[in-house]
Amino acid sequence: MTIALHLLLILLCFLSLAWSADRFVLSAGKLALRLGMAPVLVGLVIIGFGTSAPEILVSALASMNGNTGLAVGNALGSNVANIALILACAGLITPLLVRERDVRRELIALAVATLLVPLLLLDGILGRLEGALLIGGLLGVLAWLIHASLNDPAAVPTEELPETAGERLPPVLLWIAGSLLVLLASAQLLVWSAVELATLAGVSDLVIGLTIVALGTSLPELATAISAARRREYALVLGNILGSNLFNLLAVLGTAALIHPAVLPAEVLYRDYAVMAALTLIVTLGIALRGRIGRPLALLLLATYPIYQVLVFTL
């Protein structure tokens, strides 16, 4: 297959991933509510996992195939895309006015994770011990967020949770199984095509993961952010991006490391992680000091994305 055909196949996989992830989230939410799960838990766990499901599955399958560079690149590259592209586009559509207290927990969790995760990567190895620590950190963060939300009525998520009235259980279960199968198949096909593309283009799977794959697996966040920005649900935009980045750092990297340890090139820390951490800091300061992501800041974030893409291919 030629490079053009692989690019077309990757695009189709992206669309399939976005559709199946959306159907999986919707169906899983319906099932959770039918089983008596609190709406706030559906928002935090089901929706939070659902928007990161493409990244988790793609990185997990890449690690199973031994393509650890693709797995790590997908996680870090998706975080850069979420801030420098998706959040920036939402901020250009309309200034994102948000009170710091509305996203305080997500900001704190992401800031702490961003500071602590590189301590596990200093030796250049992302092994199973580091993976277990990352997954343990994720479970701890989720427990804290769920506990805090259950004890704070104002923290009920603003996402439109699925209605369950009149829904029969068998169709819901079929939708869950079917969408999960499509999600898995799309992720596996995407990993194969991305690795083949990297070989044909003469670049590493890390570069493909940081660029093309990272952008494509962020499609669910892009759709959610643009839709929420148009409805002026600013806290939802920020909460979705911050939550997704937290899942990528802890769940995506952790799962990939548990499956197959990775030896990290030096540029992963001084280039990719440094850019991601700097973008996270800029957004945190923008919210904490100004209470908004205005168009000037959104334009600045957006300008960093093509610059970062050039750095990935040249450094």
pLDDT digits (tens, 9 = 90+) for 196-254: 888 888 888 899 999 989 888 887 777 777 777 787 878 778 877 888 899 999 999 99
pLDDT of residue 291: 83
H-helix or E-strand containing 81? helix 68-81
The DSSP output letter for 37 is -
* Of residues 73, 44, 107, the one with CA closest to residue 242: 107
126 bridge partner residues: 262
* Burial of 24 from C-beta contacts in 10 A (0-12 / 13-18 / 19+): buried
Cross-strand bridge partners of residue 190: none
Quote the pLDDT of residue 47: 63
Beta bridge partners of 97: 292
Is the domain defined by 3-314 classed in CATH 3.30.70.890?
A: no
Give the other-Cβ count within 10 Å of 292's Cβ: 17
168 burial (CB, 10 Å; 0-12 / 13-18 / 19+) is: exposed
64 DSSP assignment? H
Torsion sign, CA atoms 105, 109, 110, 112: positive
CB 138 within 8 A of CB 258: no
Which residues of the chain fall below pLDDT 70?
25, 29, 32-33, 35-48, 50, 100, 152-167
- Residue 87: its pLDDT value, please? 92
Pairing type for strands 125-126 and 292-293 reads unpaired
Distance in angstroms (rounded) separating the CA atoms of residues 72 and 207? 10
Whole-angstrom CA distances from 281 to 122, 270, 301 are: 20, 16, 12
pTM: 0.84
Dmax (CA) of the chain: 56
Rounded CA-CA distance 218/248 in Å is 11
* Annotated domain spans of the chain: 3-314
